[in-house]
Amino acid sequence: MRQSRTLYDKLVDDHRVRSFDAADSALLLYVDRTVLNEYTSPQAFTGLREAGRSVWRPEAALGVVDHVNPTAARRVRAMPDPGGQKQTDYFHENCRDFGIELYDILHPLQGIEHVVMTETGRVLPGMVIAAGDSHTTTYGALGALGFGIGTSDIEHYLATQTVTYSRLQTLRVEVTGALGPGVAPKDVVMALIREIGAAGATGFAIEFCGAVIEAMSVEGRMTICNMAVECGARGALVAPDDKVFAYLKDKTGLTAEAWRDAVAVWRTLRSDPDALFDRTVILDGARIEPMVTWGTSPDQALPIGAVVPDPEAEPDDAVRRDLKRALDYMGLTAGMPLEAVAIDRAFIGSCTNARIEDLREAADVLRGRRIAEGVRGMVVPGSSAVKRQAESEGLDKIFSEAGFEWRQSGCSMCLAMNDDVLAPGERCASSTNRNFEGRQGLGGRTHLMSPAMVAAAAIAGRLTDSRRLDR
Ligand SMILES: CC(C)[C@H](C(=O)O)[C@@H](O)C(=O)O
Ligand code: SF4
């Protein structure tokens, strides 16, 4: 075993059931928990059914309907389209037959799977959580190793509580100093992705550390761990600290004694001081500015004060072609100030940025203001619990009075698998995590940014620096 180890290696070693090679990198890994959705689980259950297998530990799994459901104000169990209906029906059947708890569309705790998993206390420091969704990396904010798996791995997991796993290299991302006023966790992770590229952390697990991360709220850490997958990281961790323990305190249902014991163990979950990382990236927190994407990949991002880049300045042919294509798709011209880009839609939602803290930040910007003529704004809370909390704080009124639609929770226009979609050519300021071509609807144009920046863009009717609107 390695002498000094990173937190990542400790979690992997703790869950190793078997090693298949001398380098201890091809492993059979024990997985503590999973979350299942209606979209990626069907084939896994079909596989189990065909093989006559049962689920090894049904109580370690939770089913949540989130990807295909509508977000209209009135909730009904029926899905508006036959495809969604079939998926949710089969999901209900599978959860029932295999003994898995399900938060269906009418359940008071329904929401986006990653928001639900953390807020219901199912994710604890030191756990390994593998799930059929790439943004399972979110759980690193609580000191749990989360990663996405494909359908056949979901089946393997359900049958055995293990997955085959290749140990990753380790990337230490240190964010030093302090963030300026009005700079959000989303800006930190977007700055990182811009710096290292959309494949910059492929093959790596990230450990975030440094003064900025220590000062960051647990929700903020969820935002950065969630989006770490957009630079290719199949795992992101923050060493759990008092903030994490306070976040979990009322969620675990542990007795006082068990809680004390658990916290004592959780405090040991950190990289050894002399642990070696395969790579280190250092970002100066004070230099990070509110970010927006201008292209069709999360790394095509710039500080809001910048101009649309010029593909002609790019020496590499292939890169130049990509840039041109991105600008073409986005309907932008080189040299245009990002603040001159007019929007049609504003969307606040997704497992990246639709927790209560995100809604508060957006509401702070919107309080007493109206969104611009011609802009359609939507708020889709990350979960039904977030929605209730926001309503108890009166945030729904602030959004409604500003002209935003206040909707029910789900993935919604993060990936447009329901009826919340952009029309071709429509341009959206979005608090989500992916700006791929067609992600929010065929021909739709997505600009990623923080919730406060979305709110500011909605008011201005164009991309703008939220720091300029005094709160
Ligand atoms: C549907 C699912 C496979 C997908 C993911 O894995 O991330 C989705 O949640 C997304 O955000 O693109
Ligand atoms: S909110 Fe978006 S990123 Fe998150 S799970 Fe749903 S579709 Fe994926």
Question: What local confidence, expressed as pLDDT, does residue 389 receive?
Answer: 98
Which range (78-87, 188-197, 222-231, 400-409) has the least confidence? 78-87
Give the C-alpha distances (Å, rounded to integers) separating 435 from 25, 37, 61, 307, 318.
33, 22, 30, 18, 20
Q: Which residue has the tokens 């986005």?
A: 330
Residue of 34, 39, 65, 66 best suited for mutating to test ligand 2, as the one with most atoms within 8 Å of CB: 66
pLDDT-derived band of residue 471, with 50, 70 and 90 as boundaries? low
Question: What's the whole-number mean pLDDT along residues 124-143?
Answer: 98
Q: In angstroms, what is the span from residue 361 Cα to ligand 2's centroid?
A: 20
Pick from 111, 129, 138: which is nearest to 60 by CA?
129
- pLDDT tens, 208-248? 999 999 999 999 999 999 999 999 999 999 999 999 999 99
Q: Assess whether the C-beta atom of 415 lies below 6 angstroms from ligand 2.
A: yes
In the chain, what percentage of residues exceed pLDDT 90?
A: 98
Strand order of the β-sheet with 169-176 is: 236-237, 204-209, 169-176, 279-284
Question: What local confidence, expressed as pLDDT, does residue 325 receive?
Answer: 98
Ligand 1 atom with the shortest distance to the CA of 351:
11
Q: In angstroms, what is the span from residue 351 Cα to ligand 2's centroid?
A: 6
Question: Residue 264: which residues within 8 A CB-CB, separation 6 or more?
Answer: none
Q: Assess whether the C-beta atom of 350 lies below 6 angstroms from ligand 2.
A: yes
Please tell me whether 351 is known to bind a ligand: yes
Q: Assess whether the C-beta atom of 302 lies below 6 angstroms from ligand 2.
A: no
- Nearest CA residue ID for atom 2, ligand 1: 133
Helix (H, G, I), strand (E, B), or coil: what is residue 55?
Answer: coil
Residue of 117, 413, 415, 417 best suited for mutating to test ligand 1, as the one with most atoms within 8 Å of CB: 415
- pLDDT tens, 302-335? 999 999 999 999 999 999 999 999 999 999 999 9
Question: How many whole angstroms separate alpha carbon 288 and alpha carbon 183?
Answer: 7
pLDDT surpasses 70 at 402: yes
Which residues form ligand 1's pocket by a CB distance below 6 Å?
39-40, 67, 133-135, 148, 415
Q: In angstroms, what is the span from residue 328 Cα to ligand 1's centroid?
A: 26
- pLDDT tens, 256-278? 999 999 999 999 999 999 999 99
Question: What's the whole-number mean pLDDT along residues 24-49?
Answer: 98
- Nearest CA residue ID for atom 6, ligand 2: 411
Q: Assess whether the C-beta atom of 118 lies below 6 angstroms from ligand 2.
A: no
Question: How many whole angstroms separate alpha carbon 154 and alpha carbon 152?
Answer: 5
Q: Which ligand is nearest to the CA of 40?
A: 1
Ligand 1 atom with the shortest distance to the CA of 39:
1
pLDDT-derived band of residue 3, with 50, 70 and 90 as boundaries? confident
Q: In angstroms, what is the span from residue 308 Cα to ligand 2's centroid?
A: 27
Q: By the 8 A CB rule, do 314 and 308 touch?
A: no
Question: What local confidence, expressed as pLDDT, does residue 470 receive?
Answer: 61
Question: What's the whole-number mean pLDDT along residues 382-409?
Answer: 98
| 451-460 vs 395-402: helix crossing angle, rounded to 10 | 30
pLDDT surpasses 80 at 176: yes
Q: Assess whether the C-beta atom of 37 lies below 6 angstroms from ligand 2.
A: no
Q: DSSP secondary structure string, 348-373?
A: E-SSSS-SHHHHHHHHHHHTT--PPT
Pick from 359, 342, 381, 363: which is nearest to 461 by CA?
342
Pick from 119, 72, 188: which is nearest to 356 by CA?
119
Ligand 1 atom with the shortest distance to the CA of 37:
1
pLDDT surpasses 60 at 1: no
**Side-chain half-sphere CA neighbours of 379 within 13 A:** 34
Q: By the 8 A CB rule, do 422 and 416 touch?
A: yes
- pLDDT tens, 145-164? 999 999 999 999 999 999 99
Question: What local confidence, expressed as pLDDT, does residue 469 receive?
Answer: 84
- pLDDT tens, 332-374? 999 999 999 999 999 999 999 999 999 999 999 999 999 999 9
Pick from 359, 346, 459: which is nearest to 413 by CA?
346
Q: Assess whether the C-beta atom of 68 lies below 6 angstroms from ligand 2.
A: no
Q: By the 8 A CB rule, do 377 and 403 touch?
A: yes
- Nearest CA residue ID for atom 2, ligand 2: 414
Question: What's the whole-number mean pLDDT along residues 177-199?
Answer: 98
Q: In angstroms, what is the span from residue 112 Cα to ligand 2's centroid?
A: 7
Ligand 2 atom with the shortest distance to the CA of 352:
4
Residue of 37, 114, 225, 436 best suited for mutating to test ligand 2, as the one with most atoms within 8 Å of CB: 114
Question: What local confidence, expressed as pLDDT, does residue 2 receive?
Answer: 58
- The tokens describing 279, both together, are 């790579």
Ligand 1 atom with the shortest distance to the CA of 148:
6
Q: In angstroms, what is the span from residue 133 Cα to ligand 1's centroid?
A: 5
Question: What's the whole-number mean pLDDT along residues 93-120?
Answer: 98
In the chain, what percentage of residues exceed pLDDT 70?
A: 99
The pLDDT mean for the chain works out to: 97
